[in-house]
Chain A
Amino acid sequence: EIVLTQSPATLSLSPGERATLSCGASQSVSSNYLAWYQHKPGLAPRLLIYDAASRATGVPDRFSASASGTDFTLTISRLEAEDFAVYYCQQYATAPLSFGGGTKVEIK
């Protein structure tokens, strides 16, 4: 079972700042089958990134992501008001699938 560890748990930033979120996997995620989701209270999760670095349809280009071995990074280049939310990584390479614990991006 692949365990995903996200850091930090909380990121306090101001609009316009850059956010860097990390997700570490306990073992190799084959084919970099890793996704990033944005989740806001009362809403369904929103897919941002799939295959570690590909933006989903309609996702602004201020969202980017990368992979290096078992370490994955989501970057929001300049935070906008609607970006304050909780972000989760998920691996879909190996069953059982798994989510990281989440990073809350909050307004400083």
Chain B
Amino acid sequence: QEQLEQWGAGLLKPSETLSLTCAVYGGNGGSFSDYYWSWIRQPPGKGLEWLGEINHRGSTNYSPSLKSRLTISLDTSKNQISLKLSSVTAADTAVYYCGQNLDVWGKGTTVTVSS
């Protein structure tokens, strides 16, 4: 089964851009067209929040509350998915997870926004 490894800056100042990358490893060579990738997050003490998704064609859907600041992109040559969230505030402090379909998830990246 595929594994997802994610990385990115863990400490940001307000107004900076959060940038995370998620790489897909392994797998049984199943059809790439069956996959889509999501980003979700969990702020401290709160529940899971869906941020957005991208499919193998590069089509995206975003949370309405983040749409103006969020970009999810796909690099098929590197098997990588990226998330960029601009103009961050303390409210964007959370553990961020990337996921493939419903059942494969990265281990999470803790992002803290603080001046």
Contacts and interface: CB of A to CB of B under 8 A. Distances in A.
A96 B48 contact: no
Contacts, number: 53
A47 interface: yes
Interface in A25-63: 35, 37, 39, 42-45, 47, 50, 56-57
A1 B103 contact: no
Given A1-B64, A35-B102, A96 B47 contact: no
A45 B50 contact: no
* Size band of the interface chain B makes with A: 20 to 34
Interface string B42-67: 10000111101100000001111000
Interface of B: 38, 40, 42, 47-50, 52-53, 61-64, 97, 99, 102-103, 105-108
